[in-house]
Amino acid sequence: MSARTSGDQYVCGVAGMTDGAGRSRQRPAPASVPSDTWLVGVADGASRDAGGVPVQLLGDYLPMLADAAIHGRQVKKRELDAVGRLGRQAAEQGISAGRVVQLYLSAARRLWEDLPIVVRSRDREAVRAAAAAVLQVVDKAVATLAEGYADARRDLVRREETLRRELIDDLVRGDSDVGALVERAEPFGLDLARSHQVALAAPSRRLPDADTAISALEAVVFDRLGDRDVLVATKEGLLVVIAPADPPAAGRSSSATGTGADLGALMHSELNRLPRGRPWRVAVGRAHPGLYGIARSYEEAREALTMAGRLNTDNPVTSAHDLLIYRVLLRDQPAIVDLVQAVLTPLAQARGGAAPLLDTLDAYFASGTVATEAAKQLHISVRTVTYRLARVKALTGYDPADPTHRFTLQAAVLGAKLLNWPRVPLPAPG
């Protein structure tokens, strides 16, 4: 049995058979069976019903149906394998699954409508048997078609995700070939001549169901920011979003110019809807122009994410712009190490170590040097707070209540948090 397409022709044969010894013989087709134009008309009509899906995607499907109805022949595995390949072909051509399935179902319906004329000499039981044979072919063929289509779509998604991840890796590294990156970014709609900002989202534990998180972020960013110049992927256990930050071109919504805080809040709100990953922490780098601006914004976002974790900030969304003072402190790390070494290391002599006293100082400064507010934050008594502050004065010689000492102590406490001291030993002097 064979079926071929040549231009608009759909050629099929349903009479070729072999005898028991394997010799070729011809079985006469029923007198009422028309020529090949019967199946040609069915294929063309089904294509129209499915919105113009090419008849080539039917392959040998119609001869299989006709042979099942007329001769009761069951579909073979190799024929089903061919249908599965047609499903993959449809996916690769970008045809929707619904239209491909509609093509097959419409072809079966149209073929069956013509069958009573073809086999009208048969009795009722024969017609029932023909119907059962046709339905069996339709059931297996459509299921195999859908499986082939789904397999191809999964492969395409995996391929696109790999290309997307590799592109982001090269963009944030900032040392790749500019021409090649521009060419690779074009299919994703990324205009590297614009200003972009990078946002990173870190889950509470490992990244859960990355595909779901990426789809959710893409949908909300496209919808809210009104700009498709957005790229979302994963990198080193984090979700990475590259979004435009310059004013939109003519005709684009002005909402596309969201600030870093807007982008971060938008991401955090959407990620918190997911069943896993909470609590999320989001950091957004500042906007910078051009290709190398993406790498710079990424480094700022990564640094902000690390700082937010060390500073233990209450706000789950951190902007690199708000942490500029900490970047200034870290820019001269030897000086910060020297400050912490000189001012705070005596606290390690206290019972329980330096950590409780540092936490108390941090809460005390954050509350505006109000001991009662600091006690509420720490869930301890006011008496404990005042005792710890007295111990700080006794051990370091700096009085937290003295305005002239307060700045030195507060800068040293911030430096300790950035250096993650005392959990991590201070770096050796350069």
Burial degree of 385 (CB within 10 A; 0-12, 13-18, 19+): buried
Residues in the chain: 430
- Give CA–CA dist 266/221, Å, rounded: 8
pLDDT tens per residue, range 301-310 = 999 998 888 7
Pairing mode of beta strands 231-235, 281-284: unpaired
Task: Enter the pTM of the model.
Answer: 0.56
Q: How confident is the model at residue 20, as a pLDDT?
A: 34
What residue ranges define each of the domains in the chain, with the CATH number in brackets? Answer: 2-155 (no CATH), 179-322 (3.30.70.2730), 332-419 (1.10.10.2840)
pLDDT tens per residue, range 200-249 = 999 887 776 777 788 788 778 777 765 567 888 888 888 899 988 865 44
Helices (H), 174-246: 178-185, 210-225
Alpha-carbon separation of residue 46 from 62, 105, 144, 148, 374 (angstroms): 11, 8, 19, 20, 75
Q: How confident is the model at residue 246, as a pLDDT?
A: 60
Q: How confident is the model at residue 342, as a pLDDT?
A: 93
Could you give the percent of the chain with pLDDT greater than 90?
37
Q: Which helix (H) or strand (E) segment is 233 a member of?
A: strand 231-235
